[in-house]
Amino acid sequence: MANNLLAGKKGIIFGALNEDSIAWKVAEKAHEQGAEFILTNAPVAMRMGSMGDLAEKTNSEMVSADATSIEDIENLIKVATDKFGKLDFILHSIGMSVNVRKGIHYTHSNHDYYMKAMDVSAISFHKVMKVAMEKDAMNEWGSILALSYIAAQRVFPDYNDMADAKSLLESIARNFGYHFGAQKKVRVNTISQSPTPTTAGSGVKGFDSFSRYADDNSPLGNATSESCADYCITLFSDFTRYVTMQNLFHDGGFSYTGLSHEVMDKYAK
C-alpha cells in the first residue's frame, strides 16, 4: 500500500532492535511511503540486534546513540541535518527498566534502576526534543512521536516502574508539545499501543495474560505492530497537522471498554 504519504519527508527512527520491534515496522512503512531517515539505537543494541538488515532494506544510514546522552543526540542530529537539512519527523520508540528485567517488585524498586528507567524511557524524549529545538533541526509542521502504554492511566500491577515512566513520557509530550508548537509549529504526540509481542513487551511479567485479556476486552482485538506503524505514518503525514499534545489510544477500543461480552462470558456460572 504505497500512497507516497511521506514523499520528500526526512526523519530519525529510534528503537528498531529486531523485526518484532514497532520501530522496525514503522521504518518499513515509512520507506514504502517515500520517506528517508536515519536509523538509530543504543550502541549495544546496534551490536546485538539486526538493524543492519533493516538499513539495507530501507536504504538508510545507521547512527549509534544512547538516547540518554546529550552528546550522542547532538551528534545524531548533526549527522541527520548534514545529510537531509531540516527534519520532518522523529520516532521515539524506546523503553527499558532494570527493575522489570530483574523482576524486582514495584514496592521494592531499586531507585538507581528506577531513575534509569525514567531516563531511558521518558526523559530521553525530552532530551531529543531539547537538542532538536536548540539546533533548529525540525521543519515547520514536523511531527514527533513516542510510544506509550495505558499503564500511564490505569494500574497494571506488573508493569512496574514503566507505568511511572509512561506517565512522565505523556506529560513531556504535552508540555514540550506546547512549546514546540508555539515556537516552531512542530507537533508532539504519544501513541498508546496495545500489548505487542516484542522484546520489550514480552519482558513484562505476565505479558501473555494481560495481552490475552486486552484482546478479549477490546471490540476490535489487540492492535498489531503493523497497524501501529500505519498509525504512525498518518501522524507523520500532512493529514494530521493540527493534532498535537495528545496521547492517542491505538488499542482496538480497550481504553474505553468497561467489560466486553467475551470477558463477561468467562464469568458466567
Ligand X SMILES: NC(=O)c1ccc[n+]([C@@H]2O[C@H](COP(=O)([O-])OP(=O)(O)OC[C@H]3O[C@@H](n4cnc5c(N)ncnc54)[C@H](O)[C@@H]3O)[C@@H](O)[C@H]2O)c1
Q: Return d(Cα 23, Cα 134) in angstroms, integer.
A: 25
* Interaction residues for ligand X, span 50-69 (CB under 6 A): 66-68
- One-letter amino acid at 226 equals E
By the rule CB under 6 A, 21 interacts with ligand X? yes
Nearer to ligand X, 25 or 187 (CB): 25
Residue with the shortest CB distance to ligand X: 201
Whether the CB-CB separation of 144 and 96 falls below 8 Å is answered with: no
Q: How far is the CB of 92 from ligand X (least distance, A)?
A: 7
- Minimum Å gap between C-beta 160 and ligand X is 12
Contact with ligand X (CB under 6 A) among 27, 35, 38, 42: 42
Cell numbers describing residue 228:
501501529
User: Does 199 interact with ligand X (rule: CB under 6 A)?
Assistant: yes
- Pairwise CA distance, residues 179 & 181, whole Å: 5
Grid cell listed for 164: 511511572
How many residues make contact with ligand X (CB under 6 A)? 28
Single out the residue of 250, 263, 183, 262 nearest to residue 222, CA to CA.
250
Out of 6, 22, 63, 163, the only residue in the binding site for ligand X (CB under 6 A) is 22
Q: Is 90 in the site for ligand X (CB under 6 A)?
A: no
Is the distance from CB of 75 to CB of 63 less than 8 angstroms? yes
Stretch that binds ligand X, among 12-20, 80-88, 104-112, 239-247 (CB under 6 A): 12-20
